Amino acid sequence: MNFTERLLASQKTRQSLLCIGLDPDPRKIPASLQHAENPVAEFNRRIVEATADSVCAYKLNLAFYEAMGNRGWEILRETLAVIPKDVITIADGKRGDIGNSSEMYARSIFKDFAFDASTVNPYMGFDSVQPFSQDPRQGVFVLALTSNPGAKDFQYLKVGGKPLYERVVRRVKKWNIAGNFGLVVGATRPAQLRAIRTLAPGLPLLIPGIGAQGGDLKKSVRFGCNAAGFLALLTAARSVLYASANEDFADAARSAALLLRDEINRYREEYFR
């Protein structure tokens, strides 16, 4: 199976489009874990065990692990080891460099850490993206339109009468020969999300920004899913990870994840069945 087929299988089996961002901040780890041998690794383990049956994917932002130095890389490996094999893992590093450098980034993400997918910045063109797309089973989520305010600095600029993000979408469609490319589109851009889904009806869309960032979940489901109600990855991090700062943090995370999953599925039922 190529990556898109793998993702679709996970979403259908688990009946979930929810992706949780495992982005641990050591400053926010509950006090009840501070005496653990490795508080952050223990925090991640407890979150995964509490939420794994409610998700189709986890997205791990590499910056949160890099910031912890050598121990952060160990925590990353320990976290990946406890994630069920049928759940998609996404390395969110937004890599993208000249060919040789991208080849090393891809080797680290896919060979060393064995992630299922990676986020990639297309600014330097296809040769910076191509090393991530070698194996059809491994996904490449290309930044198209991001949820941050600074997205307007470049992503909306007109190129030949079309916004740059639309040019990116059209180019990624051409690159998607093996069925393993997708797009990153922020949940805070519902009108543009709708337009992008129309342009790319068969591509997986990684949609960050629901939860703490305030993206519209209902519109993200309606405009982000394909015609069958799949291939959208609705992503939340802080609203799940830090649903409680007390000893019940794992139970609170589970409750938050289940509420999100069920709300997503209600909207899917409304729009696609």
CA–CA gap between residue 71 and residue 170 (Å, rounded)? 40
- Closest CA relative to residue 219, chosen from 256, 264, 157, 170: 264
CA–CA gap between residue 240 and residue 212 (Å, rounded)? 9
Residue type, 108: S
Show the tokens assigned to 222. 């309606």
List 12, 94, 174, 218, catalytic entry: 94
28 is catalytic: no
Show the tokens assigned to 159. 């190129």
Residue type, 256: A
258: number of Cβ within 10 Å: 17
Show the tokens assigned to 224. 């982000």
Residues designated catalytic: 94
